[in-house]
Amino acid sequence: MQVTGTVLTTRRVDAYHALTVVAPGIAERYRPGHFVSVAVGGAHTSMITRRALTVHDVKPDYGGTVELVFTVRGPGTAWLAERRARDTLDLVGPLGRPFPLPRDPVHCVLVGAEYGSAVLFPVADALMERGCRVDFLLGGASADRVFGAMRARRMAETTTLTTEDGSLGLRGKVADALPSVIADTRADAVYACGPMETLRAVTAVAIEFDIPVQVAVEESMACGIGVCMTCVIPVIGDDGATRMVRACAEGPVFRGERVRFEDVGTIPFDALGAPGGGARHAG
């Protein structure tokens, strides 16, 4: 659904920005893993594409609010970072496929890198409501790029932090620490969000431990509703065939082992419909 939301609060979270927006219909329909797309630049802008933003928190206040977390990557997100309370935003959402949740109480490790960690906190709330044990593994390039460390420590059984420069927690990347976290927590499942390279490494570790991994991919999404095809990635289906699927519509959450991370940004020769080959694997 499309709504005009009023900005309630703005805040800096270390290297990132957070906007809380009154958006009753979106808040009501939201499930962990959903995202929203936001128009940027104002009424007379030349920026015609929306920005897909992560939902970090949803509350019933004022009929329903969503908190959006992002980093400035260009003129669109720079414009968003300049919004103030009482400004209005054009939002469409909730969009995408949310995280599937286990039926039974299990041990879950939530792995987030950079501001991708923001999407995992609603997941943690939902898992804990089902009686699951939740452990966080969060990381970033430096201390100011590790999102949500304090909140994670308050809500999880354990929280492990990593930074590439060693300024907070363990030196290295989240995937480096994941094997010991899985072993120590006796994890049954992994949920992850972050850059593609992080998700690729996290998935490899989960496969090594033979436990399921759900990943929320961060792809550029111009429309957010599956029309523009800017966010297609190669994903293996139930029939074993690779298809180019839209991260915004069929994702952004996928089973990690189904995503062909090494081929993201390309059309693999054996993908269905690929020039010169894929159709022969259509079955």
d(CA 47, CA 78): 12
Cis status of the peptide bond prior to 122, with omega within 30 of 0 = no
Provide the residue-wise pLDDT of the chain in tens; the chain has 283 residues.
999 999 999 999 989 999 999 998 999 999 999 999 999 988 788 888 889 998 999 999 999 999 999 999 899 999 999 999 999 999 999 999 999 999 999 999 999 999 999 999 999 999 999 999 999 999 999 999 999 999 999 999 999 999 999 999 999 999 999 999 999 999 999 999 999 999 999 999 999 999 999 999 987 777 777 777 888 899 999 999 999 999 888 989 999 999 999 999 999 988 987 776 554 443 3
Whole-prediction pTM: 0.92
In the prediction, which pLDDT does 163 show? 98
From residue 36, how far is each of 115, 183, 219, 237 by CA, in Å? Answer: 15, 35, 13, 26
